[in-house]
Structure 1
């Protein structure tokens, strides 16, 4: 029996916090029920038809969810002037609203494909995915220091990992645990396949270091906002964003190669393209190296603007004063 005095006992959560947690848990459970209901027709339909309906569903969400639509368009509008300065940008990509509409269609396609993958119907998707630039991966592996793949929430990022694990040698993907534990377990079942594995971001540095020492491959989605104590403010699409500097720090410490790799759609199939490794900034400054890594993601977005996850607020938690 504990002999702690009352003042050392854990204080009960405030009622408001408990109410928020309850509401969040209900939302997640409703989301899982919706996932199951949507999954049934998706699994019964042929792949091409299901993916086509997914695109229509995404466009319908674009029309019906005004708040999310406006937020997405605003994100594109804020980056639009900067995108226009990049060599890879094609003005024919259209207006921010046109890009947003196609983005929602791509999210709908991706959702359908993930359902197919999760329930074991993704072989056709993986087999039809082409890997380009593997010579850059082989050159990086030949150095024997490990490889850190720099990528983002582009195209169908789950399929990218599956295709690499199936047709190459697999990787350990760095991910965050979901706030709703059943969703974490659901994603684990999807990601721990085809030679891939997960490293959770909490305390990930030691595992990453250990694997790189064995010349393994690590996949890291760098386009997520991190808490201020986990990263630095680094420019991204013309504005400062909280960005992880872990890849830059790990490359400096271990000599691992930093190799960009992204997926994109070509017609009804996917292409995963790898690019030459990015040399760390000569100054050794991790922020300068991280800026180079962000630029690789920006170049991808400029080439395929409707296949990045614009609905996500990449610049959250950055104040006006910090933006300067």
Structure 2
């Protein structure tokens, strides 16, 4: 049901602008993002394929923020071209998963935001096994690695479907482990990210993409 609503909303994204977006989306925590920008830090936004995640990026782009999202290509070329047109109109920059790490780091150092959704089993990208719903799950470790490389904070950012509208929740930066042991820190901090995502799914289970084979890769 959530995916069906997402599809209808996504094909209508072009109608949104600064004058009408607030009538459809409420944002809690935007001051956190503004504070990070003022501090010159930018941010790594931890999110998931949850709620209408496409709308989450468009909301901030419409508001004038520099928004970049790491994503994989849509299998349907026609739909991807359609999406790309709307993304360009609103200013959402998509970084496909084959993007160079140095390009992502450059964006972060330029005080921009990069959204990452490490809630799917993607064995083609760097990851580690962490507990997810009490089962070992291969999880992309991008947020933890980028934080280690740049010192840029990781902030949870989720969009929750709420009746006829949506609520965006931006949280304070996560408190990551920093022991000096690179592998240990990446593992522990990826577990922290997984715990955050699991928490949202437990609260709103109907808004996550359960059909994805989340545990297909085995330890």
Specify if TM > 0.5.
Answer: yes
Cα distance in 1 between the residues matched to 2:162 and 2:216? 31
Deviation readout 1:2-34 (Å, 9 max, x if unpaired): xxxxxxxxxxxxxxxxxxxxxxxxxxxxxxxxx
CA positional deviation for 1:204: 3.4
Alpha carbons 1:165, 1:196 under 8 Å: kept = yes
Counterparts of 1:194-213 in structure 2 under 5 Å? 194-213=90-109
CA positional deviation for 1:251: 0.7
Give unmatched runs, 5+ long, in structure 2: none
Match of 2:199 among 286, 289, 299: 299
As a proportion of its length, which structure holds more strand?
2
Cα distance in 1 between the residues matched to 2:42 and 2:66? 13
Cα distance in 2 between the residues matched to 1:259 and 1:145? 12
Cα distance in 1 between the residues matched to 2:73 and 2:2? 25
- Whether 1:311 and 2:207 are equivalent positions in the alignment is no
Match of 1:286 among 186, 209, 217: 186
Deviation readout 1:221-262 (Å, 9 max, x if unpaired): 111212166211122121122211121111111110100010
Give unmatched runs, 5+ long, in structure 1: 1-104
Deviation readout 1:127-175 (Å, 9 max, x if unpaired): 4101111122223333323200000011111111111211251311111
Deviation readout 1:152-202 (Å, 9 max, x if unpaired): 011111111111211251311111123454443233223233232111110
Alpha carbons 2:116, 2:142 under 8 Å: kept = no
> Given the superposition, is the C-alpha separation of residues 288 and 228 from structure 1 closer, same or farther in structure 2, using an over 3 Å criterion?
farther
- Whether 1:121 and 2:15 are equivalent positions in the alignment is yes
CA positional deviation for 1:314: 1.4
- Whether 1:268 and 2:164 are equivalent positions in the alignment is yes
Cα distance in 1 between the residues matched to 2:125 and 2:91? 32
Alpha carbons 1:158, 1:191 under 8 Å: kept = no
Counterparts of 1:147-226 in structure 2 under 5 Å? 147-226=43-122
Cα distance in 2 between the residues matched to 1:235 and 1:142? 35
Match of 1:237 among 129, 133, 153: 133
Alpha carbons 1:162, 1:196 under 8 Å: kept = yes
Alpha carbons 2:127, 2:140 under 8 Å: kept = yes
Alpha carbons 1:228, 1:242 under 8 Å: kept = no
Cα distance in 1 between the residues matched to 2:21 and 2:208? 19
Three-state SS of the structure 1 residue aligned to 2:89 is coil
TM-score where L is the length of structure 1: 0.61
As a proportion of its length, which structure holds more helix?
1
Cα distance in 1 between the residues matched to 2:104 and 2:125? 19
Alpha carbons 1:140, 1:277 under 8 Å: kept = no
CA positional deviation for 1:274: 0.2
CA positional deviation for 1:316: 1.7
The CA RMSD over aligned residues, in Å, is 1.9
Deviation readout 1:76-135 (Å, 9 max, x if unpaired): xxxxxxxxxxxxxxxxxxxxxxxxxxxxx2222111111212xx3345566410111112
Q: Identify which of structures 1 and 2 has the higher relative contact order when contacts are C-alpha pairs closer than 8 Å and 6+ apart.
A: 2
- Whether 1:146 and 2:42 are equivalent positions in the alignment is yes
Structure whose CA Rg is larger: 1
